[in-house]
Structure 1
C-alpha cells in the first residue's frame, strides 16, 4: 500500500502528464478531479486540486469541483433511471449516491473554510510585508541620498583624475610618435637588407650559369659566400625578432605606464624614468641596425671581389683558348708535312708460284 508521499508523487506525475493534453486551466482541473476520485479513490478538494495543478486563481478549482460533482450526480441519476433493476436496489443506490454527495459537499465546505482561513492569513502576512517594504523603501531613500552625495564627491575625484590622465596621454602620444619613427626606420632597413640579399642571390645565379666550366674550381668560394649571406640573413632575422619582442614589450609597458599615470604623480615620474631607459634601448637597437647595415656592405664588397676573381678567371680561360687557337694551325701543318713520309711507295712482294707451275 502506498504511503501519503508516494501517493502524492504518483498523482502529481499523472497531473503533469495531462498538462499537454489539456492546456485550458478549467479542463485540467476537471481531469484532476477525475484522477483523484476514480483512479486513487480520494475525495477531491479545492486546496488539494490547487496544490497539484498550481495554475490560475483559487476560484478556478472551486468551480471545477462544483461542476465535477454536478456531472457525477447527473450521470448517476440517469443510470439509475434507465437501469433495469429492482426498486429496492434503485432506492438503495439512490441513498448511496445521496450520502456520497453529502460527504463530498461537506468536504468541499471544509476545504472552502480552510481556504478562507489561509487567505486571511496570507492577507495579514501581505499587510505585514507591505509595512516592512515601506520601511525598507524609506531606508533605501536615505541610502540613495547618501549615495548621491558620494557620487558627487566621486565625480570631483574623477575630474581630477581626468586632468592627470590628459597629462599622461600627452606623454604617451610623444612616445608613440618616437616609436612610429623607429618602426619606419626599421622597416626601411629591413627592405634594404632584403633587396640587397635578393640582388646578391640573383648575381650569384647569373655568375654560376655563365661560368659553368669554372664551377668546380670556385665551388668552395661560392659556398663560403652563401654561408656568409646566410649568416647575415640569420643575424638580420635575429635582430628583427629582437626588435619585435622589444616592440611587444614596449606596447605592454606603455599600457602599464598608462595605468600607473592614472594612479598617482609619483608613478608618472617613475614611468618617465622608465621611458628614458626605453629611449636608451632604442638607441642601442639603432646601433645594432647600423652594424647590420655595415655587415651588408661588407657582403656587397665580398660579392664584388668574387666578381673580380671570376673576371680574372674568364680572362685566363680566354687566353688559354686563344693559345689553343694559335697552336691549332701549326699542328695541322706539321701533320701535313709528315704525311708523305708515312705514305711512301710500298715494296712489291714477289708473287708466289702456284703449285704445278
Structure 2
C-alpha cells in the first residue's frame, strides 16, 4: 500500500514538472504517455491521461495515445535490408528480430521492475528500521526519564527515611527514659499497694467484727419486728371488724337517707303541683285586676264631669278581695319554694 502511494506521489510530481516544461497540450500528453509506459511500466489509456493532465478535451488524449502507439510500433519494427534476401524473408526476419527485441525489452523491464521492487523493499525496510530505532530511542529516553524520576524519588524517600529514623531514635530514647521512670513508679506503687493491703486486712477484720455485732443486733431487731407485726395483725383484724360494722351502719344510714330523700322528692312534687295551681290562680287574678283597672279607667272617664263621688277600686269590696287573694297566693308561693 505504501509502494502504491509512493508511485502515485512520484507520478504526480513528474506530471507537474512536465506541465511546466511542455506548455502545449499534445506534447504534454505525449510525454505523460512515455512517462507511464517507460518509467512506471503502465499502459496508458485515454481516461487515465485525461484524469492526470486535465487539459483539452477527451479526444485530445485519445488521438495522442493513437499516435504514441503507432510511433512505438514503428520504432520497435526491425528492418533487415540485404540485396540478396527476398522481401518477404527480410520482413519475416525483421518481425522475428522485433519479437526477440520486444521479449528482451519485456525481460529487461521485468528485471528492472524486480530490481525496483527490491530497492523499494530495502528502502521500506530501512525506513521501518529507522522508525523502530526512533521508537526504541524514544522508549529508551522515556525509560531513562522514568529511572531518573524514580532515582530522585528514591533519594527523597531515603532522606525521609533517614529523618524518620532520627525521629524514631529520639522517640526510642524518650520511651526508654519513660519506661525507666514508669518502672520506678511501679515499684513505688507496689510498696504502697503492700501497705494498702495490710491496712485493708486490718480494716477487713474490724468490718467482720462489726458485721457480726450488726448481725446480732439484726436478729434482735427481727424478733422485735415479728412481735410488732403480730400486734399490727391483731390491730388490723380489729380495725377490719370495726370497719365492717361501720359499713353496715353506713348502709343502714344510707337506706334511711334514701327514704328521706324520696319522701322529700314526693313533697317537692306536691309543692310544685300546688305552686302550678297557685300560679294559674294568680294569672287569673292578674287578668281580673287588669279588667277591673280598665273598667275603673272607663268609669273615671265617664264620671269626670259630674261632681258626685264614685267609689274607687281601692274602696270597692271586689278590689279588696282580689288584693287579699293575691297576697295569699304570694305567701303560699313563698312557703312552697324548696
The two structures share one fold, judged by TM-score above 0.5: no
TM-score bracket, normalised by the shorter chain, equals: 0.3 to 0.5
So what's the TM-score if we normalise by structure 2? 0.34
Larger RCO (alpha carbons 8 Å, 6+ apart): 1
So what's the TM-score if we normalise by structure 1? 0.33
